[in-house]
Amino acid sequence: MTESDWPLFEVFIRSRAGLEHKHVGSLHAADARMAVEHARDVYTRRQEGVSLWVVRSADIVASDPEEADALFEPARDKIYRHPTFYAIPEEVKNL
Amino acid sequence: MQTETRTEAQQQQAHCHYVLRLADTSLVLGQRLAEWIGHAPALEEDLALANLSLDLIGQARLLLTYAGELEGQGRDEDALAFLRDAPEFLNLALAEQPNGDFAHTIVRQWLIDAWQLEIYGALEHSSDTRLAAIAAKAIRETRYHYRFSSGWLVRLGDGTAESRQRTQRALDDLWRFTAEPFAPDEIDERMSRAGIATPLPELASRWSARMEEDLRAATLTRPATQPFPWHGKRGVHTEHLGHLLGEMQHLQRSYPGARW
Amino acid sequence: MYTQALDTHGKEPAGGAEADPQVARFQARIDAEEKIEPKDFMPEAYRQTLIRQISQHAHSEIVGMLPEGNWITRAPSLKRKAVLIAKVQDEGGHGMYLYSAAETLGISRAQMLEQLLSGAAKYSSIFNYPTLTWADVGAIGWLVDGAAIMNQIPICRCSYGPYARAMVRICKEESFHQRQGFEIMLTLTQGTYAQRTMAQDALNRWWWPSLMMFGPSDADSKHTAQSMRWKIKRFSNDELRQKFIDITVPQAHFLGLTIPDDELHWDEASQHYHVGPIDWSEFYAVLKGNGPCNRERLEARQRAHEAGRWVREAAAAHAERERTRSMQQAAGVAA
């Protein structure tokens, strides 16, 4: 690592207990401890968080948009995962 | 009866001055850090130093307001900040030292953060409930400041040959100011007897132990020289404070009585 | 305004590009108001235009910290000092959100910084003017942030996801910036004679540069059409400038200040304020690097970067050493 390329980290913040961590952006830091501090300084100036994750960008594995069809298209046809596919008489409660 | 009134008055003044010492240290240090904004080694550090500065100025505002009330002469936070001259400022001499390079700034910060950790930590249990409340808020900020400054102390001390050299140099330069923070005087003793403050010698050993540990982690050497007994907290400063105040107070002094 | 110098770079896409089915699909997504994300297909010209626009925007935020930062140590009250620090801190943060968005397009922070410090990259012209009095801090908040907000809100709906999301974050934080500036002006105009004079002097110096922030008329820009088609730009320079004028003139009247323009008048027919002619030669001079503070602004950033080199190196060296240590420890434990 040279001085010019502190690695890139992606930042995820949980803004309130009960919510999941959301991706908010990225920043550069020399090490993980610094990354957490930078994330706190940059992304929580208005108390937007109760929990922070920082992950080196290089460690993130992403799905390839080229494969979006193969990965995500099949689910569109399988409508039997959706509750509206089943016809239930109105008188039946709690279903 | 007259003696009682005089003693009461002396106690009240000591109380006011005790609070001013805390206020002025935060104010002067906050002002120094603000000088870095836009000129830090990386954009992320611009934000970090600005955050520290903002916290310290926030502490100063609360403490100055309280000191003004204790004084009872109608001076608010701005009257105290902008219309006192250097001999009336009661900050630690360490706080007014110039920023120098980043190593000087980090060493100065680390020394004061470690001091504030002890002071605010003890004040949380003060018989002065107003001070205890301010300390409770401030200590949360100080814990973050200390994490930042001690982290950087280690990175710089145990970084490159150049960074270690610069950091050791900064430590050697600033060492002479390290006696004052824990050297008790009459005001400190009055505050201890009143249950407002914890006696400084009790806090000093913990501060010293923490410093030793951090210096070891940073591969730095504790300077051998004896610190000089500065009296910033009695208004006897270094030459730097006058210039700092000249810049800070310029507008209020040039336009007396104006509202901003 | 972040497209002020885009005309000097970039090639027009080849005439037959739209015949390419991938490009046609891409344009159809844009027309349908879909967001383009980092790894989606995008024409090279779209990518390059965005890199330039986003990085210029980021540079503007960073350089913008300097004119206002100039007054932090001299702020005339503790409250004003705290608010100004928070504002400048926000601007640094905005720069970071934008650099982060630009990096998703394949350029690194180090490359963008190099472009800025070498003078190759441009940033908004307005930050090349000096802040001479405390009133300038008020004028910048009121006029410059006011103009920026006008420009930024439409970009919240731009086609590129990371840029749009960064802008939404920025716009949420921006609201107090303009209000604090206006409040400073209000306090001055309600103050002493010297303070009122200070406020009028600041308006005299910042009015025209603020109008120039929106950039020249789009009739003079051949790239506006493409940027509009790609939904990177949503309104023309003239439209935004006129909107700014119509909103700001009444605010100046409320403050009791005079806009430094003899030809300014309300036109009943068009229901707009008409301004006198803008001196675009000054604008182009500033853009080329010959404005009042171009040198100082760049040199300040260069000095900070140079002076900070040993710090960044130390942090990197320490991190390397720590990583090696923990790997050795792990190996020692495993063995």
Residue range B235-244, pLDDT digits in tens: 999 999 999 9
Q: Which chains touch B (3 or more CB pairs under 8 A)?
A: A, C
DSSP B111-125: HHHHHHHHHHHHHTT
Question: Please, how many CA atoms are within 13 Å of residue C233, restricted to the half-sphere of its CB?
Answer: 26
Residue, of A2 and C57, whose pLDDT is higher = C57
Positions of chain C with pLDDT lower than 70, given as ranges: 1-19, 220-222, 334-335
User: Using one digit for the tens of pLDDT, what is the confidence trace for A17-29?
Assistant: 888 999 999 999 9
> Quick check: B177 and B194 in contact, CB under 8 A?
no
Helix, strand, coil shares of chain C, percent, nearest 5, are 70, 0, 30
Q: Token digits for B37?
A: 């904004």
In C, what residues contact A, Cβ < 8 A?
Answer: 37, 39-41, 86, 89-90, 93, 96-97, 100-101, 103, 108-110, 166, 169, 173, 309, 312-313, 315-316, 318-320, 322
| Record: contact B39-C88, CB cut-off 8 A | no
Q: Chain C neighbours among A 17-36 (CB < 8 Å)?
A: 24-28, 30-31, 34
| Record: contact A27-C100, CB cut-off 8 A | yes
CA gap C268, C167 in Å, rounded: 35
Integer-rounded Cα Rg, in Å, for chain A is 21
Residue A44 — very low, low, confident or very high, per pLDDT cuts 50/70/90?
confident
CA gap C150, C246 in Å, rounded: 12
B41 chain-C contacts, CB cut-off 8 A:
304, 307-309, 311-312
Residue A46 near chain C (CB below 8 Å): yes
DSSP letter (8 states) at residue C139: H
User: What per-residue confidence (pLDDT) applies to C309?
Assistant: 96
CA gap B107, B94 in Å, rounded: 10
| Record: contact A31-C93, CB cut-off 8 A | no
Q: Is the dihedral of CA B103, B109, B113, B114 positive or negative?
A: positive
- Residue B247: is its pLDDT beyond 70? yes
The angle formed by the CA atoms of residues A60, A65 and A70, to the nearest 5 degrees, is 110
User: What per-residue confidence (pLDDT) applies to B84?
Assistant: 98
Residue B179 has a CB neighbour count (10 Å cut-off) of 15
B57 chain-C contacts, CB cut-off 8 A:
78, 81-82, 85
Lowest mean pLDDT among A80-89, B201-210, B232-241: A80-89
CA gap A46, B213 in Å, rounded: 34
| Record: contact A30-B51, CB cut-off 8 A | no
Q: Which chains touch A (3 or more CB pairs under 8 A)?
A: B, C
Q: Token digits for B155?
A: 């990175």
B155 chain-A contacts, CB cut-off 8 A:
30
| Record: contact B147-A37, CB cut-off 8 A | yes
CA gap C104, C50 in Å, rounded: 11
Residue A73 near chain B (CB below 8 Å): no
Q: Residues C72, C78, C82, C87: what is their CA dihedral angle, to the nearest 10 degrees?
A: -50
- List strands edge to edge, sheet with A22-28: A22-28, A8-14, A51-56
Q: B–C: how many Cβ contacts below 8 A?
A: 136
Q: Tell me the one-letter amino acid at C318.
A: H
Over range B227-234, report the average pLDDT.
88
> Quick check: C68 and C84 in contact, CB under 8 A?
yes
| Record: contact C187-B34, CB cut-off 8 A | no
User: What is the nearest CA distance from B48 to chain A, expressed in angstroms?
Assistant: 6
Query: What does residue B158 show for φ and ψ, rounded to 5 degrees?
Result: -110, 50
Mutation pick from A37, A43, A44, A46 vs chain B, by most beta carbons of B within 10 Å, is A37
User: What per-residue confidence (pLDDT) applies to C11?
Assistant: 47
Residue B33 near chain A (CB below 8 Å): no
User: Using one digit for the tens of pLDDT, what is the confidence trace for B4-50?
Assistant: 788 899 999 999 999 999 999 999 999 999 999 999 999 999 999 99
Mutation pick from C26, C89, C97 vs chain A, by most beta carbons of A within 10 Å, is C97
CA gap A56, A75 in Å, rounded: 31
C309 chain-B contacts, CB cut-off 8 A:
41
CA gap C120, C140 in Å, rounded: 26
> Quick check: B233 and B172 in contact, CB under 8 A?
no
Residue A29 near chain B (CB below 8 Å): yes
User: What per-residue confidence (pLDDT) applies to C2?
Assistant: 63
User: What per-residue confidence (pLDDT) applies to C12?
Assistant: 47
Q: Is the dihedral of CA C172, C148, C190, C274 positive or negative?
A: negative
User: What is the nearest CA distance from A11 to chain B, expressed in angstroms?
Assistant: 14
Over range B175-195, report the average pLDDT.
95
Lowest mean pLDDT among B175-179, B232-236, B246-250, C223-227: C223-227
| Record: contact C315-A27, CB cut-off 8 A | no
Over range A72-89, report the average pLDDT.
55
Residue recorded with tokens 């000088």: B35
Candidates A6, A33, A41; nearest CB to B51: A41
Closest alpha carbon to C280 in C237, C232, C250:
C237
| Record: contact A37-B155, CB cut-off 8 A | no
Alpha helices by DSSP H, listed for chain B, are 2-34, 43-71, 77-83, 102-123, 129-157, 161-174, 186-193, 200-217, 240-254
CA gap A13, B178 in Å, rounded: 40
* Long-range Cβ contacts of A60-67 (<8 Å, 24+ apart): A60/A10, A62/C39, A64/C39, A65/C37, A65/C39, A65/C40, A65/C41
Lowest mean pLDDT among A15-29, A67-81, B93-107, C71-85: A67-81
Q: Is C272 helix (H, G, I), strand (E, B) or coil?
A: strand
Decide: residue C33, CB within 10 A, 0-12 exposed, 13-18 middle, 19+ buried: exposed
The fraction of chain B above a pLDDT of 70, given in percent, is 99
pTM: 0.92
Over range A68-75, report the average pLDDT.
62
CA gap C25, C22 in Å, rounded: 5
Q: For the domain with range B2-254, which CATH number is right: 1.20.1260.10, 3.40.710.10, 3.10.310.10, 1.10.10.10? A: 1.20.1260.10
| Record: contact A30-C316, CB cut-off 8 A | yes
> Quick check: A28 and A7 in contact, CB under 8 A?
yes
User: What is the nearest CA distance from B184 to chain A, expressed in angstroms?
Assistant: 35
